[in-house]
Amino acid sequence: MRDFLAEMAAKSLERCEAARVAVPYADLLAAARDSQPALPLKLSGFDVIAEVKRASPSEGAFRSGSGDGDDARGHLAQLIEQTEAYQAGGACAISVLTEPSAFHGCLHDLAVVASDSQVPVMRKDFLVDVYQVAEARSRLASGVLLITRILEDAKLVEMVTVARNLGMFVIVEGFDEVDIDRAERLLGADHPGVLMGLNCRNLTDLSIDLMRFGRLRHHFRGTSPAVAESGMQNVADVHGVAALGYDLALVGSSLMKSPAPAALLGEMIAAGRAARAASGRGGA
């Protein structure tokens, strides 16, 4: 069986090594430190991180945008249009897929969205080295997502440390109780600036199991914000994870496919906050 996660990690390492040849880490880190400060992640009881991506392995390519002209200009128009819709809809942050082979993303997409956004922007990719954290910050990203399963203990801690030293927030993503327990053991359950994420998509075979959110919620033992990731297709799905006690949802494909992403996003946030309030956990 194809191991999608391992394949993506291997390709990410190749990209990282090629980039390091072109721009040494010391130079990149200096550029990251000299860039404008990262934007703070502000949470309000329950929030949604809305995702921008060109394509996904499970959904194929998303709409090409409403701009006139060639594909590149049309995609640029879509990036700006989607960014502005997410801000209007109330996203606390915007995630940008930068992986090129399966998601057709790039660092330019990250820079365009971050330059246009008034909320923090996060780089989502299969990051394997601190170089890629600095690469994200140099493009004005205020956060990164790190996948526990593809990183050894020392590497995960190092990448979180570099990100936090650059003023960035981090989502540490797991897929099961082993990943969650390991992340909390290495980083602490209440690490400042670190959010603990659970992805309900199996990145070995790309299947989705929404029930995983309920089965594994109790493994988040600390007060670090818990993020439900992937698979949420509608307002009811977001309401469900909020009722389970998740603090945020990361939603991508359903918003990219929606003809009215700002309205759908607003409905998702409202439903999540209503669920939190009904459960006695508070909301805004």
Place of tokens 């359903």: 254
Q: Is 35 left (phi over 0), alpha (psi -120 to 50) or beta?
A: beta
Q: How confident is the model at residue 3 (pLDDT cuts 50, 70, 90)?
A: confident
In a domain, 189, yes or no: yes
Residue 79 has pLDDT above 90, yes or no: no
Classify residue 284: in a domain, yes or no: no
Q: Is residue 143 a part of any domain in this protein?
A: yes
Residues 88-95, mean pLDDT to the nearest whole number: 98
Identify whether 117 is part of a domain. yes
Share of the chain above pLDDT 90, in %: 77
Best CA proximity match to 212, nearest among 190, 234, 195, 197: 197
pLDDT at 196: 95
pTM of the predicted model as reported, rounded to 2 decimal places: 0.92
Q: What is the pLDDT of residue 71?
A: 66
- Predicted confidence (pLDDT) per residue in 20-40, tens digit: 999 999 999 999 999 999 999
State what percent of residues in the chain have pLDDT above 70: 93
Distance of alpha carbon 46 from alpha carbon 207, whole angstroms: 26
Return the bridge partners of 145, or none: 171
Q: Which CATH number fits the domain that encloses residue 39? A: 3.20.20.70
The residue ranking higher by pLDDT, 49 or 71, is 49
* pLDDT band with cut points at 50, 70 and 90 for residue 283: very low
- Taking phi over 0 as left and psi of -120 to 50 as alpha, with beta for the rest, 137 belongs to alpha
Per-residue pLDDT at 244 = 95
- In this prediction, residue 65 has a pLDDT band, given cuts at 50, 70 and 90, of very low
Answer whether residue 57 is part of any domain: yes
Q: Is the pLDDT of residue 91 over 90?
A: yes
How many structural domains are present in the chain?
Answer: 1
Q: pLDDT by residue (tens digit) across 148-207?
A: 999 999 999 999 999 999 999 999 999 999 999 999 999 987 888 999 999 998 776 778
* Nearest alpha carbon to residue 40 among 187, 168, 207: 168
Is residue 283 a part of any domain in this protein?
no
3-class state of residue 174 by DSSP: strand
pLDDT at residue 172, as a whole number: 97
d(C-alpha 62, C-alpha 57), whole Å: 11
Provide the b/e sequence for 90-106 (b: ≥16 CB within 10 Å): bbbbbbbbbbbebbbbe
pLDDT at 70: 52
Full domain range(s) for residue 197: 4-278
Look at residue 223 and tell me if it is in a domain.
Answer: yes
Contact between 276 and 246 under an 8 Å Cβ cutoff? The reply is no
If pLDDT is split at 50, 70 and 90, which confidence band does 73 have? low
| pLDDT for residue 68 | 41
Mean pLDDT of 234-253: 96
